[in-house]
Chain A
Amino acid sequence: MNRINFIFTVIFIVTSAVRIDVYAQEDQCFICHDVLGDKPSELFKNDIHLKMKISCSACHGGNSKSDDMDIAMSSKEGFIGVPKGNDISERCIACHSNEEKMKAYGSNLPANQHELIKNSVHWKTSITGREHILQCTTCHNAHGILKVNNPASPVHSLNIPQTCAKCHSDAVYMRLYNPSLPVDQLQKYRTSGHGILNSKRDSKAADCADCHGSHEIRTAGDIKSKVYPTNIPKTCAACHSNAEYMGGYKIPIDQYDKFKSSVHGIALFEKNDLSAPVCNSCHGNHGATPPGVESISKVCGTCHVLNAELFSGSPHKKAFDEKNYPECETCHKNHDIVTATNALLGVSDEAVCSQCHSESENVKGFKSAAEMRSLIDSLDQAVILAKELINEAEQKGMEISEAKFRLRDAQQAKLEARTMVHSFSLDKFKEIVEGKGLLVTSSVIDEAKASIDDYYFRRYGLLISILIISLLALALYLYVKKIERKNTG
């Protein structure tokens, strides 16, 4: 104890007496606190800011040039002690949002972090109502701030999941702010393709910030968010469509292009239909991974329930399982799913049925497919004819809105029949096409024809009436002539 005291005294004498003018130019805060061996100064030793010769006083205020504690840490010199609440971030912003200052330190960091974070959910929301939900130090640390590419930094790609999880996996904490937000993202992430690579210290694999952004993190419902449904495909494609980036991984890079022209992509991008599936709808988001062969129909079935159900009850289920065919994908493909047309059905070359069914192989299915196709084709033609007739009648000025209304049922039968294909049962299919579709269509056709006939009936009726009226007029004229002849004669 005495020894320590002695050393202290010596240091004190030496520092104060001998090298006072030299130390006056040095960071007196750090020197003293370093000697004290407190935790902040211990951490600060590796801090990028210390290396840039930025003193403690830059954040804590006070006079770093004075070795007199009373002067250095006096409020007169602007000492503020430990900044609280938003003041913490204000200290960072003071320099990091000032391009000139940053340049002065030779930094090539962007100076827009504050601008970006202003729009983030972390900045806009507050639990206490007085301060942002987080400060810069929440992610970057306070005293041991390292460069982002330093593997020890909490915001290095390999560490980000853990850093975010500090709060996001804390159910008690998250409840304060958004009780309905799940807290299992990290757990899921670790099961995902990205998470597994991340665990293997592959910093190229996507971490939280790659999808959600770093400073400008918006809620998923924010239309500008990188994870808003319409933005997700681009977000994923940023890596997955980059040939150079994906070079080392043995997966294709054309998913985005295929998706863009698929029925789902068109629904999303052109019709702005937010219920259209995007990448994460099938692959999962935090637990992103390709669905396995056996789970494809479940994934598609979350939206296309009826089709999946019918398929599961169909004879194809067993056959596909045995041959290990992916269920929906075998006929509809995956990223480039296009609108299913009647062309898929039947035995022609472009029809998918003929991949397995032919006149010599699996003959029963071959026959059914051919008949199904001819059924749906005849319904299509009947509907087209009905529409043409209704059009014609309407153009002739006839009112047949009721028949037009009933044609909806035929349209519906068409759609239902297309769904019913997935039962791969000719009887069920027939029941809908014939019992529902063709029945309605033929009655609509009859009505439209009757309406067109009525149009001609009006013309003929007019002709007859004109004849009759003219005849009467003529008779009267002859009569008048007769009278006048009698009068004059």
Chain B
Amino acid sequence: MNYSKNNFEKQGRRNFLKYLLTGGVVGFTGAVLYPLIAYLKPPKQADVEVSTVSGGLLSELEKDSGKIVRFGNKPVILVRTINDELRAFEATCTHLDCTVQYKKEMGVIWCACHNGKYDLAGRNIAGPPPRPLQPFRVVLKGDEILISKQS
């Protein structure tokens, strides 16, 4: 009786240890694998490129139009002029930090907040903006437009 109880206890302890070990190993594997797999899963934003950003495809940007491209944490306005030239400027209005846009009717870069206007060289030509827009460099790589900081 005594012996068998002892044995039973021993058996129980052994089983407990077995479960503990198995559980521990399984848990540990999970704790390591979960962040690992999450890490290896490709992130939403495909890749990092900040000193140069892609402005999309030239064929997708009409003549006499413009668009806003994100450059790091600031916007850049890319304009394809009526003469088929590509220009890019910091898209933050020098007046009160609104984001500017290309206005086809007027042929200028325009700020909707206070009707500031810049010509296609980025110079402030009308309205409240006190300074011109900072230009960016644009290069064409095949069909892809690349915008980079002017050094």
Q: Is B a genuine binding partner of A? A: yes
Assess whether B82 is interfacial by the CB under 8 Å rule.
no
- State in angstroms the CA–CA spacing of A465 and B24 once bound together: 11
Q: A305-B127, A415-B96 are in contact. Are A471 and B20 (CB under 8 A)?
A: yes
- A401 and B129 contacting across the interface, CB-CB below 8 Å: no
B142 to chain A, nearest CB (A): 28
- State in angstroms the CA–CA spacing of A482 and B17 once bound together: 10
B32 to chain A, nearest CB (A): 9
Contact with A along B21-46 (1 / 0, CB 8 A): 10111011011000000000000000
Label chain B's interface by main secondary structure.
mixed
Of A309, A401, A465, chain B has the most CB atoms within 10 Å of the CB of A465
Query: How many residues on B have C-beta within 8 angstroms of the other chain's C-beta atoms?
Result: 29
- B127 and A303 contacting across the interface, CB-CB below 8 Å: yes
Counting chain A residues whose Cβ lies within 8 A of the other chain, the interface size class is: 20 to 34
- CB-CB contacts below 8 Å: A10-65 with B: none
- A472 and B129 contacting across the interface, CB-CB below 8 Å: no
Assess whether A468 is interfacial by the CB under 8 Å rule.
yes
Assess whether A304 is interfacial by the CB under 8 Å rule.
yes
Closest-by-CB residue of B relative to A415 is B113
Contact with A along B93-127 (1 / 0, CB 8 A): 00011110000000000001111000000001011
For A479, the chain B residues whose CB sits under 8 A away are: 17, 21
Q: A273-B130, A478-B17, A479-B17 are in contact. Are A471 and B113 (CB under 8 A)?
A: no
Assess whether B67 is interfacial by the CB under 8 Å rule.
no
For B129, the chain A residues whose CB sits under 8 A away are: 275
Assess whether B63 is interfacial by the CB under 8 Å rule.
no
For A468, the chain B residues whose CB sits under 8 A away are: 24, 27-28, 30-31
- State in angstroms the CA–CA spacing of A140 and B43 once bound together: 81
B124 to chain A, nearest CB (A): 8
- A303 and B128 contacting across the interface, CB-CB below 8 Å: yes
Task: Give the A-binding residues of B (Cβ under 8 A).
Answer: 14, 17, 20-21, 23-25, 27-28, 30-31, 70, 73-75, 96-99, 112-115, 124, 126-130
Task: Give the B-binding residues of A (Cβ under 8 A).
Answer: 273-275, 303-307, 309, 401-402, 404-405, 408-409, 411-412, 415-416, 419, 464-465, 468-469, 471-476, 478-479, 482
